[in-house]
Structure 1
Amino acid sequence: MQLDCLNKRLIQRGIYLGYTPAALDLLGNLGFDANFGARPVKRVIQQMENEIALHILRGDFKEDESMVVVDADESHKDLPLQKKLLIYVYG
């Protein structure tokens, strides 16, 4: 649901959001806490949104031609979970 809300806000700017199954798994792991359930997922999505906002401010996007793809870095097993979330900007 949180990704859908982010996607709707991005679409208003002509930016399209895509994510891989590995990214969804990682977001689920980052956003789950045994004490708080899935509530922390909103914080994880907010951090991702902040990174996308930096790209917007830098002018990395072309209107109606841009896409953000979220993926998980599975090649570095020693990285903490927070460092494994990758955001690619196209356009």
Structure 2
Amino acid sequence: MVNLYYTKEAGELLVTLGFDPKFGARPVKRVIQQMVENEIAIGVLRGDFNEEDSILVDADVSAKDLPSNKRLRIKKIETTPAMDAMVTND
């Protein structure tokens, strides 16, 4: 089991990219699948992530010149009590 954490900025970016009032939450689900789930799966296959790893999904809010899909950062982290206060566990 992988522990997934995400920052408020990452959540806001995913919602912004998937927002479509006509289709409800389905577009958000697709954005999460494409930008988060697929990238984590590729990382597992490459050996970047292992079972019981903690993974942080963050958005680079300073990179306004990058396309939205390139602003999401997914990386392995060491969890600490301070980390739990900064991020949300999914």
* TM-score bracket relative to the smaller structure: 0.7 to 0.9
Matched, 1:27 2:14: yes
Q: TM-score by structure 2 length?
A: 0.73
Name the structure, 1 or 2, with higher relative contact order (CA <8 Å, separation 6+).
2
Aligned to 2:27: 40
Query: 1:57 — aligned with what?
Result: 45
Is 1:78 aligned with 2:70?
Answer: no
The answer as to whether partners of 1:32 and 1:39 remain within 8 angstroms in 2 is no
- Residue 37 of structure 1: CA displacement? 3.5
In 2, distance between residues paired with 1:57 and 1:75?
A: 30
Alignment-mate amino acid for residue 3 of structure 2 = Y
Report if aligned partners of 1:61, 1:90 keep a CA contact under 8 Å in 2. no
Long gaps (5+) in structure 2:
79-90
The CA deviation at 1:57 is: 0.8
Superposed CA RMSD: 1.7
| TM-score, scaled to structure 1 | 0.73
Structure 1: any 5+ residue segments left out of the alignment? 1-13
Percent identity of equivalent pairs: 58
The count of aligned residue pairs is 77
Q: Does the C-alpha gap of structure 1 residues 83 and 62 become closer, same or farther in structure 2, counting only changes over 3 Å? A: closer
The structure 1 segments of at least 4 consecutive aligned residues displaced by more than 6 Å after TM superposition are none
